[in-house]
Structure 1
């Protein structure tokens, strides 16, 4: 029988690291420790450097960059090499792909109301095309939660047995040293006395809820990390003049770890997620409690270890959220990149056979 080689689209190594790229990076690193040599390789565009692995081969191929490389050079490599593709970031070549794809969520399909400006509509159209192609041509689909699996089945008619769940994890936080200097830079933040959230302008992150919570609880400090025009958005919402809100801008990983460790609670009032990793990272960093939205995805991932915000009735009242009775060790034990890598390797082996 012909030996199957799985060639990973490694273009994400040249992208800014967000949750999707982090998943790919950590999963491959853990997979390298258990995969037999010759089964998996990573192919990248020229100028994009992948890590040096023990058992995973790295290859540079093609002359294009960005999306053009992903859509033209990557499938050309698969054909030339006779390999199957492993695409871990929601996107496959529209033509010339056979293999396995990771779909982290189908938010663009499930919540089109989040994407109403021109850029959002274009992005939504592109991703919905990708979801349809993946559903139609991928030999198998990996996603990050049972909730996301059910959404793929619901919207794209993919049989459940064609989808495997490979969870996110948190061990990357162990490699980060906390940077306590953030408290000197922001003297309004007293350890153990502030609520912390990480925000952006994506509608699913529900940044306005945090502002309303700050307005409704003026005696507490709310620290908000994140780039973009958060303060401008606060002005647009009529919630700019809140003296108890501290806008931190972009923070380093070390600063984020310190902020998570010393916060009173970590807030994550998301409207839609495929997994929702920040609260898990917060628990790993020592946050005493996490408050998340009351959605099926959050219930699946966090169980009894979170306080749940009913966004249908709670318009920004932290005190109305029941504190969780969290066994942090039990929660963290559910998720590891080693477990996820073993699950991925099982999928690769089954698909190879």
Structure 2
């Protein structure tokens, strides 16, 4: 595992961060993490809460946004600003409760402008488009656990002034300032980043089914971590801690932008019924994707997934909660609105 610090700053949270505890600060910065020695690095921007003593504090939740393709040379300052992971980490932190950590992850590989999440979604082709979603080995959940674990170690070293070579002492300072309840996980995928969301939904469905088949107790979020863990550190912890999936103006140049397999959604509902927690699915979109006359399948897939979720929600006693949110409705389709949704989206 290679960790390389790109830059780091400790800044206050954005002013619109809601119920941020008085006096609480944040560590905000960018690091690079590779999943294998010599492998490509994910560029990760983070905005993490600090305690009054400037140690990393255990959050209520970790919100993780996966970004999409690169768009360069537009000359549009709005698109340029919203293409920057470091800026997006602050935007995301500002949309969440003050005790939530924000993570923004760029793909480790790009084929020209195209994001290729092969390390998390092995089925993607050379352009990053999925040939399907295969849960075998739970690559997305395992990869996310590894990325977060190594990111936390690198950030704690930065805060304490140690180099990455000193991380083996495992004396990383943390504090719990709000609750002993372990953090939940909120997953967001923007544009091409939606393939990671789909992979995680598929993996959760398969993992939950296997847990029943093998008579394994499926934990809820309150059981999914050791006390005071900052992030989920295993495949099981990632999958069992997810409380929300957000699709943010996702779209592909092929089928597969949304999950349309009824059996996958049915098993997700069964999982909700077997646990004590709620699970939200929010489909956020703009006319750029949902009204594209050249890619009509995007809206059809969205409508089908939403209907499947609503059908299954009827037997989940209000604990499976699907919804859709349209932004900039009535405006002519353009590339800017596709990025502006990142600032406009209502996560709550």
Normalising by the smaller structure, the TM-score range is under 0.3
Q: Structure 1 or 2: larger strand share? A: 2
TM-score, length-normalised on structure 2? 0.23
- Please identify the structure whose Cα radius of gyration is greater: 1
